[in-house]
């Protein structure tokens, strides 16, 4: 094992327990028994090892803890329940650890509307420091494309569920390339061979990369021989215990000494896995193999290397000086993330076009049903109130279409944020400026131009502007709700139910379906957090404050004015502020839910 090159990772006495629950001693007597008696589960049990430059595999049957160990080594696991130490070249990992190592997740999380080259350039633009020139960034991307043999598909889009793109192997290599633009000395990969048809190609690329001095660490389940022979070092795990750690070439002699012989033409990887699976059926066998390894010369050699890695008494004194800060400024990050967001919207126009089409259909429906409403007591008053309520409801409900794309992008955000691509604030601002606002303003304009004039609402420039502004803000509120829920709930079906429930409650407490005074006092407070009520009130005051209603057949006799309707609806209208306070409340609700979405993006559990 060559420890001369930089990027040697050692880990000492790593353990990981889940199911632990901290209960205050004062609460133990009344805490529910089914909560405080939750059993612990040992996922990793006192595992130590060292990975130097080359191909380092963590192997074992399903549920053995290999992915958990990989996440702990990459500092992507919640610290609760984790114990042990990790060192890089004999020093504790710096606070900038996530900015200097690469991590490729099992699922290929990548922007599908961008080409291979554009995805790599995005990674280079947001992750390389300001000291790196644009020319050097492009050169790095070109080199990565060459090293990963991606020249043939460099300008092909990755692909989405609606857009045909590159193959599975090319997609995986692009994900690897997005980490390689950092030139990391250590590269982690979680199950890089899930696609059997492209596994060998991917692993051969990794082997070539390891020859340049990189430390490649990956979890893998059952490699075939053509892949297994590429490994330099392996760590075999079973039920969280270390069964073997050393050279891949020495694994068969080790098992042979324990009484397990591999047939002549059997794959060593399959053989080792079969031994571990058989051992897992009897805990005593696992302990025997673990103890046999601890007594072996292989362990003695590894242990001496581990001691050398911890032999520096001044580890903290000479700790690396890298700081845990992002590579680029906020402005630079916002520029590139916004650029990608706009590019995604342009290349995936179906959602935007569907919003415009829905706006046209709904506005025509409103215009036809409430066409040229007359200024009469009956049915003019009822028609206007009905039209206003339906307009607000349709605009808020139409924002539900944003929920599914937001939930899908949630996964991309979590991966890129924890990998150090950009700050949470960057994603939020880019999403707001280049997605949510543009996605709502155009449909709002289209809807207002058609519905307002077809229905015969009061035709003055000022009143039309207020109508449009209210419609736009109502749709922003709906989008803010969807943004907040998508940042809170990862399952679309559950998120959809929650959003619809919130909207329905607000509709009920808008004051249009039932008199708010007749409700239970314990529920009446909900009216103050009903955005539908505020939006409807703005449009109602805007329409009724300066209008007279005449008899059906005698337009010269107008015994009722709009003020009387507003009084019956318990709406303030006497001053200009009386109307704008409703708009201000609507705006504050939209801003509040946007802030809640922003807070929730911070609170998302980004570690596994």
Residues 410 and 341 in one domain: yes
The pLDDT value recorded for residue 321 is 43
The encoded tokens of residue 488 equal 């809170």
The encoded tokens of residue 557 equal 């006799």
Does residue 539 fall inside a structural domain?
A: yes
Count helices and strands in the chain by DSSP H and E runs: 23, 11
Unique residue bearing structure tokens 């494309």: 145
Say which residues have a Cβ less than 8 Å from residue 335's Cβ, sequence separation at least 6. none
The pLDDT value recorded for residue 479 is 95
Does residue 150 fall inside a structural domain?
A: yes
What are the pLDDT digits (tens) for 62-75? 888 889 999 999 98
Quick check: helix, strand or coil at residue 62?
Answer: coil
Query: Among positive and negative, which fits the CA dihedral 102, 105, 106, 107?
Result: negative
Looking at 30-34, 112-116, 599-603, which range is the least confident one?
Answer: 30-34
Residues 93 and 173 in one domain: no
Residues 178 and 312 in one domain: no
Does residue 608 fall inside a structural domain?
A: no
Residue 4, beta-bridge partner list: none
The pLDDT value recorded for residue 567 is 75
Residues 109 and 6 in one domain: no
How far out from the chain centre does Cα 578 lie?
A: 41
Residues 421 and 553 in one domain: yes
- How deeply is 453 buried, as exposed, middle or buried, from its count of CB atoms within 10 A (0-12, 13-18, 19+)? middle
Per-residue pLDDT at 314 exceeds 50: no
- Helix (H) / strand (E) element for 339: namely helix 330-347
Pairing relationship of beta strands 215-220 and 186-190 according to DSSP bridges: parallel
Residues 239, 44 contacting (CB under 8 angstroms): no
Single out the residue of 23, 72, 78 nearest to residue 45, CA to CA: 72
Residues 475 and 353 in one domain: yes
Residues 157 and 32 in one domain: no
Residues 175 and 41 in one domain: no
**What's the pLDDT band for 20 if we cut at 50, 70, 90?**
low
Quick check: helix, strand or coil at residue 378?
Answer: coil
Boundary (domain end) residue, out of 143, 167, 183: 183
Residues 283 and 349 in one domain: no
- Compute the average pLDDT of residues 239-258: 90
Cα–Cα distance, 403 to 596 (Å, whole number): 16
The total number of structural domains in the chain stands at 3
Residues 487 and 363 in one domain: yes
Boundary (domain end) residue, out of 300, 325, 350: 325
Residues 126, 328 contacting (CB under 8 angstroms): yes
Residues 166, 159 contacting (CB under 8 angstroms): yes
* Average pLDDT score over the chain: 85
Boundary (domain end) residue, out of 270, 297, 325: 325
End-to-end C-alpha distance for the chain, whole angstroms: 30
**What's the pLDDT band for 57 if we cut at 50, 70, 90?**
very high
Cα–Cα distance, 57 to 245 (Å, whole number): 10
Does residue 492 fall inside a structural domain?
A: yes
Burial state string for 350-385 with b = 16 or more CB within 10 A and e = fewer than 16? eebeebbebbeebbeebbeebeebebbbeebbebbb
Unique residue bearing structure tokens 């039932």: 514
Q: Percent of the chain having pLDDT more than 90?
A: 37
Single out the residue of 238, 264, 214, 219 nearest to residue 102, CA to CA: 214
Radius of gyration of the chain (CA): 31
Give the domain CATH number at 275.
Answer: 3.40.50.300
The pLDDT value recorded for residue 317 is 40
Single out the residue of 220, 295, 229, 303 nearest to residue 258, CA to CA: 295
- Compute the average pLDDT of residues 390-403: 91
Single out the residue of 424, 430, 435, 480 nearest to residue 594, CA to CA: 480
- Helix (H) / strand (E) element for 178: namely helix 168-180
Task: Give the domain range for residue 142.
Answer: 102-183
Does residue 190 fall inside a structural domain?
A: no
Residues 314 and 372 in one domain: no
- Compute the average pLDDT of residues 309-332: 57
The pLDDT value recorded for residue 476 is 95
10 Å Cβ neighbour count for 524?
13
Does residue 195 fall inside a structural domain?
A: no
Say which residues have a Cβ less than 8 Å from residue 355's Cβ, sequence separation at least 6. 398, 401, 439, 440, 442, 443
Residues 61, 280 contacting (CB under 8 angstroms): yes
Does residue 365 fall inside a structural domain?
A: yes
The pLDDT value recorded for residue 78 is 79
Quick check: helix, strand or coil at residue 265?
Answer: coil
Does residue 196 fall inside a structural domain?
A: no
Residues 320 and 434 in one domain: no
- Compute the average pLDDT of residues 158-181: 88
- Helix (H) / strand (E) element for 538: namely helix 531-544
- Compute the average pLDDT of residues 476-497: 94
Global confidence as pTM: 0.84
């Amino acid at each position: 094992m060559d420890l001369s090159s930089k990027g040697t990772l050692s880990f000492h006495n790593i353990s990981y327990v889940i199911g632990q629950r901290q209960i205050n001693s004062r609460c133990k007597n009344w805490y529910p028994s089914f909560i405080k008696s939750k059993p612990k589960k040992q996922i990793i049990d006192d595992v130590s090892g060292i990975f130097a430059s080359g191909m380092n595999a963590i192997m074992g049957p399903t549920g053995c803890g290999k992915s958990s160990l990989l996440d702990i080594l990459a500092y992507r696991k919640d610290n609760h329940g984790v114990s042990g130490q990790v060192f890089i070249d004999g020093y504790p990992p710096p606070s900038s650890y996530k900015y200097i190592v690469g991590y490729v997740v099992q699922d290929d999380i990548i922007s599908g509307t961008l080409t291979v080259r554009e995805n790599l350039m995005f990674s280079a633009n947001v992750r390389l420091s300001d000291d790196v020139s644009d020319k050097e960034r492009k050169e790095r991307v070109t080199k990565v494309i060459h090293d990963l043999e991606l020249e043939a598909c460099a300008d092909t889009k990755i692909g989405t569920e609606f857009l045909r793109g590159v193959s599975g192997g090319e997609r995986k290599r692009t994900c690897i390339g997005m980490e390689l633009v950092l030139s990391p000395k250590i590269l982690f990969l979680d199950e890089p061979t899930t696609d059997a048809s492209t596994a060998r190609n991917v692993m051969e690329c990794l082997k070539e990369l390891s020859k340049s001095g990189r430390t490649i660490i990956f979890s893998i389940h059952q490699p075939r021989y053509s892949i297994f022979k590429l490994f330099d070092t392996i760590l075999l795990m079973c039920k969280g215990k270390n069964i073997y750690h050393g050279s891949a070439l020495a694994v068969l002699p080790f098992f042979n000494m324990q009484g397990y012989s591999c047939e002549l033409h059997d794959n060593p990887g399959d053989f080792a896995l079969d031994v571990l699976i058989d051992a897992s059926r009897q805990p005593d066998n696992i302990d025997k193999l673990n103890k046999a390894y601890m007594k072996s010369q292989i362990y003695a050699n590894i242990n001496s290397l581990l001691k050398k890695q911890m032999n520096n008494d001044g580890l903290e004194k000479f700790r690396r000086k890298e700081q845990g800060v992002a590579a680029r400024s906020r402005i630079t990050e916002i520029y590139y993330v916004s650029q990608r967001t706009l590019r995604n919207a342009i290349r995936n126009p179906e959602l935007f076009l569907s919003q415009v089409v829905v706006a046209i259909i709904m506005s025509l429906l409103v215009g036809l049903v409430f066409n040229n409403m007359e200024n009469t007591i009956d049915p003019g008053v009822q028609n206007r109130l009905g039209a206003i309520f339906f307009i607000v409801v349709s605009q808020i409900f139409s924002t539900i279409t944003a929920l599914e794309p937001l939930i899908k992008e949630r996964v991309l955000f979590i991966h890129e944020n924890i990998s150090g691509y950009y700050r949470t604030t960057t994603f939020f601002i880019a999403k707001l400026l280049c997605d949510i606002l543009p996605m709502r303003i155009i449909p709002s304009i289209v809807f207002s131009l058609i519905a307002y004039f077809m229905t015969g609402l009061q035709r003055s420039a000022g009143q039309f502007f207020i109508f449009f502004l209210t419609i736009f803000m109502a749709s922003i509120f709906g989008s803010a709700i969807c943004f907040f829920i998508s940042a809170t709930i990862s399952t679309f079906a559950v998120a959809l139910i929650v959003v619809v429930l919130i909207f329905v409650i607000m509709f009920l407490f808008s004051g249009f379906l039932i008199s708010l005074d007749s409700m239970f006092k314990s529920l009446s407070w909900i009216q103050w957090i009903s955005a539908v009520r505020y939006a409807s009130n703005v449009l109602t005051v805007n329409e009724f404050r300066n209008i007279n209603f005449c008899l059906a057949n005698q337009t010269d006799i107008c015994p009722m004015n709009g003020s009387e309707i507003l009084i019956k609806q318990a709406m303030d209208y006497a001053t200009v502020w009386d109307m704008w306070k409703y708009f201000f409340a609507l705006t504050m609700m939209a801003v509040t839910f946007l802030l809640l979405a922003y807070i929730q993006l911070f609170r998302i559990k980004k570690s596994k």
